[in-house]
Amino acid sequence: MKLTRKWQLLPVMMDFCLRRKFNINMKIKKAIVFLILLSVSLISYRAFCEELPEVGKVVWVDDGDTFVLEGGEKVRLLGINCPEKPHKDKLGECFGYEATRFAIKLLKRKKVRLEYDRIKRDRYNRLLAYVFLPSGEMANAIIVRKGFGYVLTVPPNKKYRARLLRAQRLALDENLGMWKHCKPEKEEYYYIGNLRSYIFHRPSCKFGKMTSSKNVITFSTRKQAFYQGFAPCRRCKP
């Protein structure tokens, strides 16, 4: 009789355990959702309420498109990208040293004015800014105009895209800087551009192939892609 009673109680015990496990899982899920909502709220609060510096003195230049302000804030020049210089175990890119030297000459020890777009910081917590020199000139545009960098548009930050693209077209037409000295390892017969991301790829690039047909644009040369303000894919390096 005792054994029979135990078997009769087994379904009740299993049901109790399952309910308890379900309740625990629900609590965990609710906690995760709460943490996600809290994180989003904090990010939103910071984005809209944080007081960002409008002026500052440049005390250090990391490379062609990144520098440090007095006080420690790191700034990434918005709307452009410069070739990377060698760093630790990473090989540098063509014209990386030249771009860094030019940025040092242009920015170091200068008091600059910062202007922001819709997204103010990147994933590394660097300020994203259009940087204006005491003369009123935009450093971002000067770097592109002299051929030490190229236009890199990351939506929704597009405030000065047209201005930067004009500077890039002049540098391309005059074959300045990196446009003269840096050539790709292999030229393709055509390139695939993404109208949404403003990135262009080699035909064999898996990321290029993933582009929605409504966002595809093709270019016959690299120069044509750059002339339209598209930046090269970091994976396939067209």
CB-count burial class (<10 Å; 0-12, 13-18, 19+) for 14: exposed
What is the residue-averaged pLDDT of the chain?
Answer: 89
User: Is the same domain home to 168 and 198?
Assistant: no
pLDDT at 165 over 80: yes
Asked whether residue 193 falls in the same domain as residue 152, the answer is no
- 85 belongs to a structural domain: yes
pLDDT digits (tens, 9 = 90+) for 22-37: 566 666 766 676 666 6
Are residues 64 and 175 both part of a single domain?
A: yes
pLDDT tens, position by position, 167-207: 999 999 999 999 999 988 899 999 999 999 999 999 999 99
Residues 173 and 92 in one domain: yes
- Secondary structure element (H or E) that encloses residue 16, with its range: helix 2-49
Residues with catalytic function: 76, 84, 126
**The pairing of beta strand 191-194 with beta strand 199-201:** antiparallel
Task: Clarify whether residues 79 and 175 are in a common domain.
Answer: yes
Q: How would residue 21 be classed by pLDDT, with cut points 50, 70 and 90?
A: low
pLDDT of 124 higher than 90 = yes
In a domain, 4, yes or no: no
**Full domain range(s) for residue 69:** 55-179
Instruction: Tell me whether residue 168 is in a domain.
Output: yes
Co-location of 105 and 74 in the same domain: yes
The fraction of the chain above a pLDDT of 90, given in percent, is: 74
Q: Confidence class of residue 1 from pLDDT cuts 50, 70 and 90? A: very low
DSSP conformational letter for 214: G
Within a domain: 10: no
Helix and strand counts by DSSP (H, E) for the chain: 7, 11
Whether 49 shows a pLDDT value over 90: the answer reads no
Concatenated DSSP letters of 48-76: HH----SEEEEEEEEETTEEEETTS-EEE
pLDDT at position 208 over 70: yes
Give 24-53 as a 3 state SS string. HHHHHHHHHHHHHHHHHHHHHHHHHHCCCC
Q: Which CATH number is 86's domain given?
A: 2.40.50.90
Domain count of the chain? 2
